[in-house]
């Protein structure tokens, strides 16, 4: 595998218009991560950038192969990790029977929570097909189009990542984390809301789920 399944998908559709796809990618990412892009009751919409800015997208030096998990994405995250955060009953969301998965790629949602929050994980293969996959698409959606109102780079188990979303609901304990598992492919983890003042709880929770997913992929690589 040259650059993981994401590279193969990208090469087959690289003629897609990047500017048109960027808007689609953001809409898809909002749906895919079950983030709060459509929640207008609360959350802070920050001013959008006025134009392109200088930024560097980190490379993924060792791509991870997600192909074994496309048919059952819930296997990416061992049950013990969501359980530590109060989540149970994972449910696969696949393109043939779920609108979110058709827009974003295969995912998994946890149906019960001790804390009234939600948890979802998506392998964002559809952004790859649009030519906006990977952290490059996330960075573009913040720095160029302004559709993501915040972006905080981080890393997960040695892989580049970033917290980003279309509304800033971190003060309500809700966030989305994107992990670059190939240069053209991300996995998203959306979690919360846990309640006001619970930003760290949300970020730590998303990071722990993301780390579990990366460890799973490393084990299968």
End-to-end Cα spacing for the chain: 10
Q: Which domain holds residue 57?
A: 4-37+52-220
Residue 105 reports pLDDT greater than 70: yes
Q: Is residue 47 part of a domain?
A: no
Per residue, the 3-state secondary structure of 144-169, as one string, reads CCCCCCEEEEEEECCEEEEEEECCEC
Please check the confidence at residue 26 and state whether its pLDDT lies above 80.
Answer: no
Q: What is the pLDDT of residues 29-48, one digit of tens each?
A: 444 343 334 343 444 444 44
Higher pLDDT among residues 115 and 151, named by residue: 151
pTM: 0.79
The percentage of residues in the chain with a pLDDT greater than 70, rounded to a whole number, is 75
Confidence check: pLDDT of 157 > 60: yes
Q: How confident is the model at residue 220 (pLDDT cuts 50, 70, 90)?
A: low
Virtual torsion, Cα 42, 44, 45, 48, nearest 10 deg: -170
Q: Look at residues 116, 130, 115 and name the one whose alpha carbon lies nearest to residue 32.
A: 130
What domain count does the chain have?
Answer: 1
* Selected residue with higher pLDDT from 39 and 164: 164
Position 45 in a domain: no
- Work out the pLDDT band at 53, boundaries 50, 70, 90: low
CB 171 within 8 A of CB 158: no
Residue 137 lies in a domain: yes
């Amino acid at each position: 595998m040259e650059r993981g399944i994401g590279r193969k998908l990208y090469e087959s559709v690289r003629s897609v218009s990047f500017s048109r796809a960027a808007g689609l990618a953001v809409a898809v990412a909002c749906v895919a991560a079950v983030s709060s892009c459509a929640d207008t009751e609360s959350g802070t919409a920050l001013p959008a950038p006025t134009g392109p800015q200088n930024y560097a997208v980190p490379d993924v030096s060792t791509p991870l192969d997600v192909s074994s998990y496309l048919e059952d994405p819930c296997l990416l995250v061992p049950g013990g990790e969501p359980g530590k955060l109060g989540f149970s009953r994972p449910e696969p969301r696949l393109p043939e029977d779920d609108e979110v998965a058709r827009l974003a790629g295969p995912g998994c949602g946890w149906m019960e929570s001790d804390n009234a929050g939600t948890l979802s994980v998506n392998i964002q293969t559809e952004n790859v097909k649009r030519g906006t996959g990977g952290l490059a698409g996330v960075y573009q959606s913040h720095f160029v189009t302004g559709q993501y109102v915040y972006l905080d780079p981080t890393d997960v188990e040695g892989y580049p990542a970033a917290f980003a979303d279309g509304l800033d609901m971190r003060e309500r304990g809700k966030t989305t984390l994107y992990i670059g598992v190939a240069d053209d492919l991300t996995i998203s983890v959306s979690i919360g809301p846990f309640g006001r003042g619970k930003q760290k709880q949300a970020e730590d929770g998303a990071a722990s789920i993301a780390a579990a997913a990366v460890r799973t992929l490393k084990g299968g690589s």
